[in-house]
Structure 1
Amino acid sequence: MTIAPSPSSSRIEPFAPWRGHADDAERERWIAVARDVAAALAVDVVDRDRSNALPVAPVALLRESGLADLLVPVESGGHGAHWETAFAVARTIARVDASVAQILGYSWLNQACAVFYGTDASRARDVLARSAAGHWIWSDSFNPVSPDLALVADGDRYLLNGRKAFATGAAVADVIVAGAVAVGGRHDGELVVFALDADRDGIRHLGDWDNIGYRASASGGVEYTDVVVTEADVIGVDRDEPFSSVVTPGVQLLFGNIYLGIAEGALEQGAALTRARPNAWFLSGVDRYADDPVTHRAFGELVSRTAAVEALADRLNRRYDDVVALGRATTAEDRAAIEIDVARLKVVSTEVGLEVASRVFELTGASSTKSAIGLDLHWRNLRTHSLHDPVDYKRIEVGAHFLNGTVQPVSLYT
């Protein structure tokens, strides 16, 4: 499989395939699909978490359901949905399986790198069409805290060497997006973004992911040994242009939605367990835990706080469609504004999600700690992923902007 065709003399032009907003029909259609996928995943989610096995069957389900091609324009063979819908779909799946929701969300964002980093509209369209035709799942090995990859010219091609940790989904994906500063050749000194077949010669998936949460996310490292990278693999060059970096607020917005989905899933499971819980605490004066005012108070607090996060997430999901529609007309101010708003979501979704996933045990009792029930999966997933980048720096980012109007330097975390 070749990710992109050889460069041609096609006209270079701005390209932003996402326009307008999702209507009710679009949202209802794909939320229904997401619920069906979540129901299928729920059957064995606890067993898959325990086994720490590669999520081969869940990823096949994402392809079969049409979700892999959700954001590809209709004219390129996809479903032409909007980011608002995509984030809501990821949230829905995260209520049951955050690992699979993460793989799906990353697939959309990495697939979109052909647009964010690309400058050749014809080539970007071709990449998206190929992706839709093959129902490709995309991943990346862009982790900025890992050592940089070495991309060194070898004649008219490059050789890629190095190792990246935390390459979520790469071991079960079709495509890996990566980047490196080229040494020599046509792109000497440029930060080149390229897309590689996940099973290309010289790529080794390390299988070293064994953490307390996100166990079904295939988040192990990737090692590259003399991997051939040609011009056909290059999807763009990062020149610090505002539109290309809009992908990062998209990543953080995905996180906020997944954290919210985890909280919603914990509440849903906690409510079911509470309704089924027999008897009541002897001092409560009621016959069932579900009738205890203490239980009502606690659920009321957690549900209300979760609903507030949902309102913010829904607003930002819709607004992200406005930002990506600007394409190359995106300004630094446009990019900074969405970055700050998404940082606010990241703060509250982390705080509320962790509180809900932890306190729900107070309402469901000691019996809910049985391993077979899997209520702990919500907390373990969120606790693990919320360490992706320190939320304290998001608080600082929001506070510095509120007081002084300052914006943090653009990075793969901001």
Structure 2
Amino acid sequence: MTDISLSAARTPWTGTADPAELSHWDAVAERVADVLRSDALERDRRGADPRDELDVLRDAGLVDLLHPAEFGGGGGHWESAFRVVRILSRADASVAQVLAYHYINSGNIGFAADPASQADWYRRSVQGHWVWGDSVNPVDPDLVLTPEGDGYRLTGLKRFSTGASAGDVVLASAIVNGGDRDGESLLVVLDHDAPGIRYLGDWDALGQRLSASGSVSFDEVRVEAADVLAPLTDEPFASLITPGIQLAFGNIYLGIAEGALARGVELARNRHNSWFLSTVDRYRDDPFVQRVVGDFSSRIAAVEALADLRGRRFDEVAALGDDVTAQVRGDLEIAIAQLKVVSSDTSVEVANRIFEITGSSSAKASVGLDLFWRNVRTHSLHDPVDYKKLEVGAWVLNGELQPISLYT
């Protein structure tokens, strides 16, 4: 587990995960995935906010995995957290998405908050086993913070607020209008039930239906000075949060591909008769079936190896704290963009073509094999993968980085 010192170079993370840590959290995630898998399709069809599912994550300790052990947290590393997201995505990518966003949202404590306030944020988050939802979507008009006394009033609407309606606190980004901090973008943390917050429940995508990603309305919500977590900046260390969420996406896509292949193999093994033109008796012995499985398995293995490398590198960079330079951040950004490209393309293809080895009966609604494709097809549209390919290409050809944003 991590040896954490909040005084070390403005970072609560040191070193990288050892095999014992990875094995521990992998096993915890596998147990939780088994629970989620048992009724994932039924819950997907209900489309309700995943409040009970988040209790399962809390009980397993996954919510507090990244928080420092000295405050009662799991003291784990980012690599462990990303692997947990991947494992859960094999069973229920919606719940895995909420957990991934929670890790990133609460990660702002370590990346962006004043070191003097970090202990209090960690202590409260661990004591309450908070799940951090967000209302940060950068493509929406920004929320407005109007100064009032020692605090602010928050007003506006944000769409695509993952985890907000189901979690314990909401991380929101807003621009200050007036006062000493006029024009500054701030991250604020608000109680889920704060007066003036309304969850619109308008998330109706074909996949990721339990990700609690509906719109949130803020109507003159009181924000105390103590609710302000940090300014939103492009400083290299603080802005590592964006490569972090892209790395989480890569692991979500990888987990979905792994889950789709595992389910497809299960269905293929249980088919008794081969196609009438085949030269074999058992469906699983058909060379066309074996070819597809071999192709998918090999490509998934390659993506998994890359994801593990990127997860380990993220910990190494996070441990640098203030020593993270623009060059170091840029190298990490591109490395993670490469994973985003291959994980997205691989997962969409696997989830789509897996039906080729499972036959017409696997298209029944009761089988639920479509859940994997619906989930990855929905989430892979979060930000266009073609722009990630351009991002990598511009770096390789010209050494050019895209401007730092909440997407790069």
Structure 2 length as normaliser, TM-score? 0.97
Structure 1 equivalent of residue 359 of structure 2 = 365
Structure 2 residue aligned with 1:312, among 306, 322, 346? 306
Matched, 1:413 2:407: yes
CA distance in 1, matches of 2:381, 2:232: 26
Structure 2 residue aligned with 1:211, among 198, 201, 205? 205
CA distance in 2, matches of 1:192, 1:210: 29
CA distance in 1, matches of 2:109, 2:82: 19
245-254 or 48-57: bigger deviation: 48-57
Question: 1:12, CA displacement in angstroms?
Answer: 9.3
Structure 2 equivalent of residue 349 of structure 1 = 343
Taking the TM superposition and a 5 Å limit, the aligned residue runs for 1:202-351 are 202-351=196-345
Question: 1:67, CA displacement in angstroms?
Answer: 0.3
Whether the 8 Å CA contact 2:9–2:320 is kept in 1: the answer is no
Structure 1 residue aligned with 2:60, among 49, 62, 65? 65
Question: 1:189, CA displacement in angstroms?
Answer: 2.4
Structure 2 equivalent of residue 55 of structure 1 = 50
Question: 1:13, CA displacement in angstroms?
Answer: 8.3
Distance 1:126 1:14, change over 3 A: farther
CA distance in 1, matches of 2:7, 2:268: 59
CA distance in 1, matches of 2:144, 2:197: 14
CA distance in 1, matches of 2:356, 2:234: 48
Whether the 8 Å CA contact 2:64–2:73 is kept in 1: the answer is yes
Whether the 8 Å CA contact 2:145–2:174 is kept in 1: the answer is yes
**Residue deviations 1:173-222 (CA, integer Å, cap 9, x gap):** 01111111212234222211111111110000000011100011111010
CA distance in 2, matches of 1:286, 1:15: 63
Question: 1:390, CA displacement in angstroms?
Answer: 0.5
Which ranges in structure 1 are unaligned for 5 or more consecutive residues? 1-10
Which ranges in structure 2 are unaligned for 5 or more consecutive residues? 1-5
Structure 2 equivalent of residue 5 of structure 1 = none
Amino acid at match of 1:279: N
CA distance in 1, matches of 2:7, 2:352: 51
Question: 1:15, CA displacement in angstroms?
Answer: 2.4
Structure 1 equivalent of residue 69 of structure 2 = 74
Root-mean-square deviation over aligned CA pairs: 1.2
Structure 2 equivalent of residue 97 of structure 1 = 92
Whether the 8 Å CA contact 1:117–1:193 is kept in 2: the answer is no
Question: 1:329, CA displacement in angstroms?
Answer: 1.6
Amino acid at match of 1:89: V
Whether the 8 Å CA contact 2:208–2:374 is kept in 1: the answer is yes
Structure 2 equivalent of residue 150 of structure 1 = 144
Distance 1:180 1:14, change over 3 A: farther
Whether the 8 Å CA contact 2:237–2:321 is kept in 1: the answer is yes
CA distance in 1, matches of 2:234, 2:378: 30
Amino acid at match of 2:227: D
Taking the TM superposition and a 5 Å limit, the aligned residue runs for 1:74-153 are 74-119=69-114, 121-153=115-147
Matched residue SS, 1:299 = helix
**Residue deviations 1:208-258 (CA, integer Å, cap 9, x gap):** 011100011111010000001111001111232111110000000000000
CA distance in 1, matches of 2:13, 2:184: 28
Matched residue SS, 2:165 = helix
Matched residue SS, 2:63 = helix
Question: 1:14, CA displacement in angstroms?
Answer: 4.5
Matched residue SS, 1:381 = helix
Taking the TM superposition and a 5 Å limit, the aligned residue runs for 1:149-228 are 149-228=143-222
CA distance in 2, matches of 1:346, 1:280: 37
Structure 1 equivalent of residue 35 of structure 2 = 40
CA distance in 2, matches of 1:122, 1:131: 16
Matched residue SS, 2:210 = coil
Structure 1 equivalent of residue 3 of structure 2 = none
Distance 1:405 1:247, change over 3 A: same
Q: Share of identical aligned residues, percent?
A: 55
Distance 1:13 1:341, change over 3 A: closer
Structure 2 residue aligned with 1:401, among 395, 403, 406? 395
